[in-house]
Structure 1
């Protein structure tokens, strides 16, 4: 049904652009950082961090950095057998979609896994890659079924999320987040869950574990130093939180190295 042509990871490419053309394939995009500008069938579309786009075959499309500022995104090019229905409306209708993904961190790691698998030559690679692509479409389709949130709710949730992204290494209390939006702690927690599918504190721990994975693989810091750097002054607690969110201990993660299956993160 699906045939993946290629998977790309654009990492802050200066002067990035694609020419205007009617594309002969389908494209799935997940923006990781910054903003990217597309022209889709004559309409200007600006996508930013957390946005996922489906651009169907036959679309007249061009793309460039937004305001000449580089961005980071995953791009999946694939073909689809139009004679077989997928059961996913926007795929079957060949309809352009742009949507903010609540499970952004998990989707990002699935795209990373897909990118790694496509570059390798391990057995059953095609099955794994196809499964990841189908999961991403399922996530997008499920997101589209959710009732649209009021703009004010989206704004409040984004304020809290932005604070967590800036301060996740520091002690964070629900009361702090509630004060940012001038609402009660219970309201702040419920709203964050409604928008992002998890509590603010769980999200904070996920950010810490994601950074821990990066430091474990790409720095010479000890586990104890990483724990303290991320705000875990009890190393045993750091071990428990790391295993809870990644499915393995820091020691096991280091042993697996770049072969570690990060798809367990943020699930």
Structure 2
């Protein structure tokens, strides 16, 4: 089977932060939309059907949908919206082909949120290579949504184990985290711990840890005076070459290239 080729072009990425009297008039959209609700609730009308979107939920709205929206019960909310155009030669993502609106409540919503936040920040910064990097992040979000939509429901206890591990990693991502520590956290074997986390999130614990560290590295490279070696040590890598390899694997460019592009973009914005 040939792999799908998806060419993306961003319309915009937005963050609505507790906007009172927020609303959108009914209109036919000419782009695809992914919505992630961070706080509160949003009431949408999609193709004349009312849809309530709540905290921790993600909705995909296909191009040419008739859409309107407003705060639910007049209360403001927080959400990210990603608007994009899609030129497809061969698509192997079913929901993009079907073009049907749907909602998921992903087991790893915090990771979706972090990716959306990075996308929003990077696109607004107009940084060098940002289109290339952000296309990769959007493709990741699209793929993870497909997985969430298609996977069978995970038993509640497995979901709790994965969430406990996820919360622990998020709190201690700068520290040296051993699989044995995570196994003790949920009182299971190391192999079971790895398997359950990957089943729920689609990543191993070490992959999730690396993604959290690299997202923080992106921020520190551009918005701090730390050098690369210090950032590597600060984030718990303790080996600069390993940090650089991990960064490039996730971000597609080296830390030095990312830092240089970010600093140049900030300087040009200050002029």
Question: So what's the TM-score if we normalise by structure 2?
Answer: 0.68
Shift of 1:6: 3.2
CA distance in 1, matches of 2:24, 2:188: 47
Q: Deviations over 1:118-170 (max 9, x none)?
A: x79x9xx8x99999877754553344232332222222212211221121012
Shift of 1:207: 0.9
Q: 1:54 aligns with which of 60, 65, 70?
A: 60
Distance 1:43 1:192, change over 3 A: same
Is the contact made by 2:80 and 2:117 (CA closer than 8 Å) also made in structure 1?
no
Q: Who is 2:198 aligned against?
A: 193
> 3-state DSSP class of the match of 1:238?
helix
Q: Who is 2:214 aligned against?
A: 209
> 3-state DSSP class of the match of 2:200?
helix
Q: 2:81 aligns with which of 70, 74, 78?
A: 74
- Residue correspondences, number: 252
What pairs with 1:111-260 in structure 2 (closer than 5 Å)?
111-112=119-120, 115=123, 137=142, 139-257=144-262
Question: So what's the TM-score if we normalise by structure 1?
Answer: 0.69
Distance 1:175 1:33, change over 3 A: farther
Q: Are 2:54 and 1:64 equivalent residues in the alignment? A: no
Is the contact made by 2:35 and 2:60 (CA closer than 8 Å) also made in structure 1?
no
Q: Who is 2:269 aligned against?
A: none
CA distance in 1, matches of 2:67, 2:55: 17
Distance 1:34 1:163, change over 3 A: farther
When the two chains are superposed, the root-mean-square deviation of aligned CA atoms in Å is 4.5
> 3-state DSSP class of the match of 1:42?
strand
Distance 1:106 1:5, change over 3 A: closer
CA distance in 2, matches of 1:104, 1:171: 24
CA distance in 1, matches of 2:134, 2:252: 21
Q: 2:116 aligns with which of 103, 108, 114?
A: 108
Is the contact made by 2:15 and 2:120 (CA closer than 8 Å) also made in structure 1?
no
Q: Which ranges in structure 1 are unaligned for 5 or more consecutive residues?
A: 261-267
Is the contact made by 1:114 and 1:132 (CA closer than 8 Å) also made in structure 2?
no
CA distance in 2, matches of 1:146, 1:61: 30
Shift of 1:88: 5.6
Q: Which ranges in structure 2 are unaligned for 5 or more consecutive residues?
A: 1-5, 266-271
CA distance in 2, matches of 1:205, 1:79: 29
